[in-house]
Chains A and B, each alone.
Chain A
Amino acid sequence: MARRTQRTTASLSFPVWAWLVFFVFTPLALVVWYSFGYKPDLFTAVSTDQLSFDRYGEVLDGVFMPMFWATLRIALTGTLLCLLVAVPFAYWMAVKVDPRWRPLLLALVLVPFWTNFLVRTIGWQVILAPSGMASDVLNAIGILDGPLDILYTRGAVQLGVVYNYLPLMILPLYVVFERLDPSQREASRDLGAGRWRTFFSVTVPDALPGIASGCLLVFIPLMGDYLTASVLGGARGTMVGQIVARQFTSAQNWALGAAMAVTLMAFVLLTVLIVAALFLLVRAVVRRARHLDLGVSP
């Protein structure tokens, strides 16, 4: 009986592991394999008849590292900005808005996804252009004198990534805020805590899983993004994803590109681990401060 159940479970999960094997592990293994190869001649993208770590040396010595730091800055700032915008918005949507209007608001959050990522980003190019809408508006209200000089800068990329990834932050936050028991907030108010104190002591700790998944959903794809930077960044706002893509497309050096991709993955993973460790440290400090020794328990 138990055996049968096991077999059923295994067959039911076939799509999952098939997907993992064919679309995650195999390509990943190929990328890792290529990263040890080299580019033999002008017309061949990769060869693996001689394996070495040389490509990794090239990656760490070349333009990759400064690019990586610049991208990390954009990604961390972008994730933080998304969080700052999404928390009040998701909270308002999940708690304050009449439940009848929530599906509509949710649909509005998702509307940008109905349009192609590239088209949306080009839309920003039009808006941010020196003769574009943003420039006209800022000039009209007197904040700016002369054309807006933001397109093809890091600022434009920053704006673009916040715009492109914001829904990915709002959705998980909305889900956790919506699931929170309102009587928990009431209990906190009832016990003498004000609105802000209630938010930070009761709502945020309960919403942590959502905050974490939102941050990962924004940060990880953002680190690999090259479209936003290609469209809005120009020469002054390039991201590491662009130089990885360039190795696979124009430069046709798959070995170097693969080594860059693997390095980027490792660094992203490292960044996530460092942030998680910092978070755990802060939490331990907070817990220690809040700990109450009654002197009764063993």
Chain B
Amino acid sequence: MTTTTVSLRGISKAYGTVTAVDGLDLDIAEGEFLSLLGPSGCGKTTLLRMIGGFEEPDAGELLLSGESVVGVPPNRRAVNTVFQAYALFPHMTVAQNVAYGLRQRRQGQPRPSRAELAERVREALALVRMSEYADRRPKKLSGGQQQRVALARAIVNRPDVLLLDEPLSALDRNLREQMQVELKLIQRQVGITFVFVTHDQAEALSMSDRIVVMNAGHIEQVGTPQEVYGSPATAFVAGFIGTQNFADGIVKDRVVVADEVTYAPELSALDGLEDGRTVRVAVRAEAVTVVAEPLPVGTANTAVGTLAGTAFLGDVVQHVVLCEDGREILARTAAAGAQPLATGALVGVTWAPESVHVYPADAS
């Protein structure tokens, strides 16, 4: 049984008439790396700011390590934040930036001695491999370096929870991927609960212990990256994570018929969906295989069309197949094993029953 560090109960927040967060419940376990994933405007940043104390919820209860913190200002919460634009203090050196939090007066704690201060700053800078930049000003550092300093400044206080507000979004791609690995390693090392806000699904998948997928102020799904990727709970989650082929159809004799194409998912996927129900089916582009010989029309989990184009994406190849009814199907295969296909050729596409996800049409 893990301990809960952050507990949100029925949290709501509105700006004027716009609801940012709508009656949200969530428990964040001690020491976990939790991502809040969603499109912009889904309420993830508002939620983060409420945990940090920069916004107060209109309704609901917010517990930090078991104690309500509603109305408690940010300087009295054992929470620290890595801001999106780092927000380093320009008139202080790197070391002074990191020491800033340690120098503040805290209830029931004596202020650290100079030696202790230096020791903890040194430790924090070593953790993010910025020791040699201790006497520089933030302006003289690159984006990635500033990012590391912001991280050191936030974890030096050993908070119960570290909030990260899209901290990697300003970095270029290579650096971002490198920092993802590093952040995860640092989180393991310090054992602090990380709450990471991102709109980048790849980032969330690669780093998180659990992902909270948010949309329009509520939670769509909470789960491990494998769960969220492998069995998206809603059509929104399916659409947000990965490239999906969506089709609207009707349940008929335990399969889904969408115009000419028949989707035959595993039977359990249709539990509770009676015949005649309109549904939306989703098949991941990675689950679709293109075959050179067209298959007989009407075979379940197949379609026939012309190859409209092929895009080389580096490690994968993406085919676009245009079906006769005008539907486009995307298929992705590993570039290494991809067979060469001529654009305009008549091809077949096929996918496995377990790759078909079915969602009631009214619930999206």
Q: A-side interface residues toward B, CB under 8 Å?
A: 181, 183-184, 186-194, 197, 201-202, 205-206, 290-297
Contacts and interface: CB of A to CB of B under 8 A. Distances in A.
Q: Most chain-B Cβ atoms within 10 A of its Cβ — which of A186, A187, A188, A293?
A: A187
Nearest to A283: B91
Contacts, number: 91
B345 to A, nearest CB: 54
Contacts of B287: none
Interface residues of B, number: 39
A197 B87 contact: no
Interface of B: 52-54, 73-75, 79-81, 83-85, 87-93, 95-96, 99-101, 104-106, 117-118, 121-122, 125, 131-132, 134-135, 153-154, 157
A206 B138 CA distance: 14
B85 A181 contact: yes
B95 to A, nearest CB: 5
A183 B83 contact: yes
B82 to A, nearest CB: 9
Given A181-B85, A292-B95, A297 B118 contact: no
- Which 9 A-B pairs rank lowest in CB-CB distance, beginning with the nearest? A192-B104, A191-B101, A183-B87, A187-B87, A189-B74, A205-B91, A292-B95, A183-B83, A190-B81
A181, A184, A192 — most chain B CB neighbours (10 Å): A192
Nearest to A192: B104
Contacts of B118: 292-295
Contacts of A193: 75, 100, 104
B149 to A, nearest CB: 12
A206 to B, nearest CB: 7
Nearest to A290: B96
A192 B85 contact: no
A184 B122 contact: no
B134 A297 contact: yes
Nearest to B135: A297
B131 A190 contact: no
Contact of B106 (A190, A192, A197, A202): A192
B81 to A, nearest CB: 5
Contact of A191 (B73, B104, B125): B104
A186 B134 CA distance: 23
B101 A183 contact: no
Contacts of A191: 75, 80, 100-101, 104, 153-154, 157
A294 B75 CA distance: 26
A217 B362 CA distance: 66
Contacts of A183: 83-85, 87
A181 B89 CA distance: 10
Contacts of B85: 181, 183
A152 to B, nearest CB: 46
Nearest to B83: A183
B81 A294 contact: no
Given A186-B81, A191-B153, A296 B122 contact: yes
A41 to B, nearest CB: 61
Contacts of B52: 186, 190
Contacts of B122: 294-296
A190 B79 contact: yes
Nearest to A208: B91
B131 A192 contact: no
A38 to B, nearest CB: 53
A206 B88 CA distance: 12
A201 B106 CA distance: 17
A69 B74 CA distance: 49
A297 to B, nearest CB: 5
Contact of B83 (A186, A290, A292, A295): A186
Contacts of B84: 183
Given A191-B75, A192-B75, 14 more contacts: A181-B87, A186-B81, A189-B74, A190-B154, A194-B73, A205-B89, A206-B90, A292-B95, A292-B96, A292-B117, A292-B118, A292-B121, A293-B118, A297-B132
Residue from the set A181, A184, A294 with the largest chain B CB neighbour count within 10 Å = A294
B80 A190 contact: yes
